[in-house]
């Protein structure tokens, strides 16, 4: 007990503290659930292995891809899985030539190949919105648009290749930013505010004693 003070709770500090504490716990729980959901999604990555033949004449180079501070391209080539069945494969990264009007030489095996990787819903989208471009060099690639453009019946997913072919391409893919750490940090902040509200509610419940009358 603090000297000269007594614990005499007042309604408004307790009500404010209770409301702030409840809100902090609710928001902290929500952020914790979001972190758990994204953790589960990251754990459920679909690994895939397919056999087919590459169509090198349909290869597309995704521009502005940097590895180890070097500019380059990600090489995307359709893979024919069977009659009327194709899937786009992000095969890996290659460094750009010194002259931007030249494209790098990419080794594409002929005949049947086995491709291993993970299935993704779409290619990573650039931060800046704009014209993705046409032709062999593009800023981004959308499945539906590319299917209409080429007439290829494409599967509704893309393959990020991880191994399977000796073609000299770099397949050290950037770690995806799932935002798990951000949600965990927000959750901790909300729980901390809830705890602070309880402490402040207790502090404001102490009032100074009136001096004793003589």
pLDDT in tens, the chain (214 residues): 556 666 666 777 778 888 888 998 999 898 888 877 777 666 667 889 999 999 999 999 999 998 988 999 999 999 999 888 999 999 999 999 988 888 999 999 989 999 999 998 888 766 554 555 678 999 889 999 999 999 999 999 999 999 768 888 999 887 655 667 888 888 889 889 888 888 888 877 766 665 655 5
**Ranges of H-type helices in the chain:** 11-43, 143-150, 180-203
User: Distance of CA 27 to CAs 22, 38, 73, Å?
Assistant: 9, 17, 42
| Domain range list for the chain | 10-42+179-208, 45-163
Instruction: Give the separation between CA 3 and CA 149, rounded to whole angstroms.
Output: 81
What is the Cα gyration radius of the chain?
A: 29
Helix intervals (H) in 68-179? 143-150
* Res 158: pLDDT: 94
The per-residue pLDDT for 7 is: 66
**Cβ atoms within 10 Å, residue 14:** 14
User: How many other C-beta atoms lie within 10 A of the C-beta of residue 51?
Assistant: 12
The whole-number pLDDT of residue 159 equals: 95
pLDDT of residue 126: 62
What are 165-168's contacts with CB under 8 Å, separation 24+? 165/91, 165/109, 165/113, 165/114, 165/115, 167/91, 167/92, 167/106, 167/107, 167/108, 167/109, 168/94, 168/107
Which residues are paired to 88 by β-bridges? 78, 158
Q: Tell me if the pTM is above 0.75.
A: no
78 closest CA partner among 168, 5, 172, 150:
150
| Per-residue pLDDT, 45 | 74
């Amino acid at each position: 007990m603090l000297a000269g003070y007594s614990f005499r709770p007042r309604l408004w500090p307790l009500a404010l503290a209770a409301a702030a504490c409840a809100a902090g716990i609710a928001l902290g729980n929500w952020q914790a659930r979001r972190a758990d959901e994204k953790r589960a999604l990251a754990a459920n990555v679909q690994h895939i292995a397919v056999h087919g033949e590459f169509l090198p004449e349909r290869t597309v180079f995704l521009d502005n891809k940097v590895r180890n501070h070097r500019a380059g391209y990600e090489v995307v080539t359709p893979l024919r899985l069977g009659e009327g069945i194709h899937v786009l494969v992000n095969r890996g990264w290659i460094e750009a030539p010194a002259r931007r009007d030249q494209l790098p030489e990419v080794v594409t095996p002929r005949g049947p190949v086995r491709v291993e990787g993970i299935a993704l819903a779409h290619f990573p989208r650039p931060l800046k919105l704009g014209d993705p471009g046409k032709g062999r060099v593009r800023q981004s690639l959308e499945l539906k648009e590319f299917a209409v453009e080429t007439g290829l019946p494409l599967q509704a997913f893309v393959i990020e290749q991880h191994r399977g072919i000796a073609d000299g391409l770099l397949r050290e893919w950037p770690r995806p930013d799932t935002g798990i750490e951000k949600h965990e940090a927000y959750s901790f902040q909300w729980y901390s505010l809830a705890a602070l509200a309880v402490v402040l509610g207790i502090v404001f419940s102490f009032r100074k004693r009136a001096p004793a009358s003589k």
